[in-house]
Structure 1
Amino acid sequence: MASRHVLQEQQNRGEAVMKQKVAVPVAGQNKSRRALGDIGNMVTLRGKQLPAVTRPVTRSFCAQLLANAQKDAAEKKKQNVDNNRMVVPKKKAAVKPKAQPVPDDATIIEISPDAVEKQKPKASSNKKPQGSLTSTLTARSKAACGLNYKPKAKNIVDIDAEDVNNELAVVEYVEDIYKFYKSVEDETKVHDYIHSQPEINDKMRAILVDWLIEVHNKFELQNETLYLTINIIDRFLAAETVARRELQCVGMSAMLIASKYEEIWAPEVNDLVQISDRAYEPIHVLVMEKRILGRLEWNLTVPTPYVFLVRFIKAAAVPPETAVSVLQMENMVYFYAELGVMNYEFIIRFSPSMVAAAAVYAARATLNKSPLWQDTLELHTGFTESQVVDCAKRMMVFHSVAVTDDKRKVIYRKYSNVSRGAVALYQPAKDLLAAALST
């Protein structure tokens, strides 16, 4: 009997332990139950516990719960705002000393985040719009470096107005770029070297340039390639003595270098050898290419006349010029520029920017444009009309003798073609030509 009581007592004690284990929740169990109770599993209404919702949770049901929660939050917020209201006299709320008379009644001020935001003064509509950070820094840089050279005049046309949204035109930096070109063009300008070459003279150089213009035209290369080729030749001849038999090879290698620098598809070495009637082997062209690059220290980024021609033509093509007249003037400018760079004394004496400006002036004079020189051209070229006249006169002389000059026959034939407007067939400006021949 005693053992039966002991056994019964042990069973009761085990049941009590099991009940304690069941009653002890796992970690986070109470929290989970509360969260579930919040969404409707344990809903209480007026202190009474309702049975759990057995309805499946659908999208419409979730939307209804969300709407009810937002409605309750809005009511609580409104109740809090009403509780936080306080009454103060309007005289104490007045800040400005010159306020209008205040009535005796009191004004209610809401002390809430919304009221604080409403009390913030609104920005004045008369405030000037602020520019971008890039434009601000650019303007400050110009002022610090003295680059604000644009005078305010009525007859100056903004040639970059149509390219404001063109990212490739870099309108915000284009003036600084050309200001830099003007400052460094004298560093890469070729000095007088023909007297240091025992076997080469200026006539040989002119014949080489004339032949290269023909090669350039046959390969249909870009204009910048031609001007860079001539620049490479002059700088190399100014730095190293070259034999007469190597002069054509220098021209071929210089065009190969310029084509690799400027063109998408450069001519092959075999093509250059073929067009020279196999006067050299491909290995000779490659060896000369390496020799030129070593002597020039791979410095190929230089301001040639073409760099300035693009900008000055744009400055000359201002309204009321039509598209046809602009194209005609562009061909005429390139014609005069190529006549100029072929002459050795011309290149030695005048800077690339002067050559480009004089070519524009000579083209406008030949095409009877009026006025010959505008304030817009003077602004962007940096030269006055009196400064470019002397250079333009020499170009008129080159034009007048291009028909009979064997050294310029390729240029004359090139620009006598209808595809280039046949601008070489125009008669040179009589006034400039007469003034050039009289001096």
Structure 2
Amino acid sequence: MDIGGEKQHDVMKSENFQGFRMVGVKYGREIGSSDNRRALRDINNLVGSNVPYPPKIIKKVMTEDEKNKQSFVGRRPITRRFAASLAQNSQDCLQVVKKSELNTQQHFSFLDLTLAKPIGCLVQARNQLVQDTSFACTGDAIYEEEHVAFPIDEPLPMVEDTEEMIDCGMKEVEMEDVEAKLLEEIDICDSDNTLAVVKYVNDIYSFYRETEELGCVPPNYMSNQFDINERMRAILIDWLIEVHYKFELVEETLFLTVNLIDRFLARQSVPRKKLQLVGVTAMLLACKYEEVMVPVVEDLIVISDRAYTRDEVLQMESSIVNTLQFNMSVPTPYMFMRRFLKAAQSDRQIELLSSYIIELCLVEYEMLKFRPSMLAAAAVYTAQCSLKGFKHWTRTSELCTKYSEVQLLDCSRMMVDFHQKSGKGKLTGVHKKYSTFKFGCAAKSEPALFLLDTRN
């Protein structure tokens, strides 16, 4: 029987009819198939009820809006990778947000409110998710990315707040760049000097700042001594400054000597008659650590008017190094002052006056309450104020020292008081040293008395 075209739908089928067979599609049973095969169920993909052939699959061309909506199916959580992809179109998103009205009660938390670009995109994504309710997430979605939940307790930032945060972030980045440039300019003059270790100098002084407290002593340690007091300590250090000047030793030796004395006295009780022995032995140890040409033990015995023997000096040397556990390398105020003077772009006069002021502080027991970096910064600040006649503390100095002008005022006022009273008492070793032409007669400079006014 001839079947003529697609219009004849009501066709009488014989008993031996096996069904139609099309290429790629099985409709009915094939010849030779098993009898226990399950029949296909209706999957609601047929348009008509009497269509003998499966309908053709027609691909729908989606518009750009539909594609964008489809990308947000299931209310996808905002992830770091997702936020980065949204950042590419941030400018367009910000314009859309400015024209739209945020009239919803649901709130979202963003991955990072300090990021300038992703915020506008996240706001647009959030509006589209709220407005489009036709998409539902079925089943448990598994994401390889780390995502952030959306609590409803945090309010959504407005566009004005977002723009303000963007401006603040940009200003902070610009300020950090300016500060980094200022710190780099400190060592430009020594870029070709291998001994200046420009590549590592910032790391070195960062390590000094972290470890400077290990070289500090309690400011009231003298209360544990039964036979000596603060006045005796001042007499000893004033005498050692004269010895240091007579032997023409480097400045590092003097500051390390005083540090060794204080650290030893803070741990060990010393009788009055042994205090000078502690001083000369500490200078011997400092010379071995800092000097190229070390004074011999006999020279120190002679300078102390032979009050002690060689065996006593060597025995005290063993006692000091064992008490301090051989820890001779500590940051001193002089180490910091060299760096801070370089940051301040100081001249010879400021350097000499800073050294004079900080050596005056070595004699004073009450200055032990300040950290070495604080003493160095305050000495440079006080010297600048004394020579210039007004308060002077640059942004570069503040960044390098990590101390503001307000933080330095208390220590600086005490230094001005010492400067004003120097040369008038019995302890005049520092004043005599810096009254010579070798040290630029720094002791004769006028103190910055205007810093003593607490109203400033």
When the two structures are superposed, what TM-score results if normalisation uses the length of structure 2?
0.59
Partner of 2:431: 412
User: Superposition pairs for residues 285-300 of structure 1, below 5 Å?
Assistant: 285-300=313-328
Contact 2:187 2:198 in 1 (8 A): yes
Question: Within the alignment, does 1:344 sit opposite 2:365 as a pair?
Answer: yes
Partner of 1:268: 296
Question: Within the alignment, does 1:372 sit opposite 2:401 as a pair?
Answer: no
Deviation at 1:306, TM superposition (A): 0.9
CA distance in structure 2 between the aligned counterparts of 1:150 and 1:330, rounded to whole angstroms: 29
User: Superposition pairs for residues 11-410 of structure 1, below 5 Å?
Assistant: 151-152=178-179, 158-191=185-218, 192-317=220-345, 326-347=347-368, 349-368=369-388, 372-407=392-427, 409-410=428-429
Q: Deviations over 1:298-339 (max 9, x none)?
A: 100100111101101111126xxxxxxx11111100001001
Deviation at 1:261, TM superposition (A): 0.4
Contact 1:353 1:381 in 2 (8 A): yes
Structure 1 residue ranges (4+ consecutive) displaced by more than 2 angstroms after TM superposition:
148-157
Deviation at 1:341, TM superposition (A): 1.8
CA distance in structure 1 between the aligned counterparts of 2:215 and 2:177, rounded to whole angstroms: 27
Q: Deviations over 1:78-132 (max 9, x none)?
A: xxxxxxxxxxxxxxxxxxxxxxxxxxxxxxxxxxxxxxxxxxxxxxxxxxxxxxx
Match of 1:200, SS state, is coil
Match of 1:171, SS state, is coil
Q: Could you tell me the percent identity over the aligned residues?
A: 47
CA distance in structure 2 between the aligned counterparts of 1:284 and 1:314, rounded to whole angstroms: 42
Match of 2:185, SS state, is coil
CA distance in structure 1 between the aligned counterparts of 2:203 and 2:264, rounded to whole angstroms: 29
Q: Deviations over 1:234-291 (max 9, x none)?
A: 0000111111100000000000000010000111111111111111111111110111
Count of matched residue positions in the alignment of Structure 1 and Structure 2: 281
Amino acid corresponding to residue 342 of structure 1 in structure 2: V
When the two structures are superposed, what TM-score results if normalisation uses the length of structure 1?
0.62
Contact 1:150 1:379 in 2 (8 A): no
Deviation at 1:359, TM superposition (A): 0.3
Partner of 1:28: none
Partner of 1:33: none
CA distance in structure 2 between the aligned counterparts of 1:427 and 1:357, rounded to whole angstroms: 19
Point out where structure 2 has 5 or more consecutive residues left out of the alignment.
Answer: 1-174
CA distance in structure 2 between the aligned counterparts of 1:362 and 1:163, rounded to whole angstroms: 26
Amino acid corresponding to residue 314 of structure 1 in structure 2: K
CA distance in structure 1 between the aligned counterparts of 2:180 and 2:284, rounded to whole angstroms: 46
CA distance in structure 2 between the aligned counterparts of 1:410 and 1:150, rounded to whole angstroms: 46
Q: Which has the higher helix share?
A: 1
Contact 1:273 1:282 in 2 (8 A): yes
Give the direction of change, closer, same or farther, for the CA distance of 1:253–1:154 in structure 2 (3 Å limit). Answer: closer
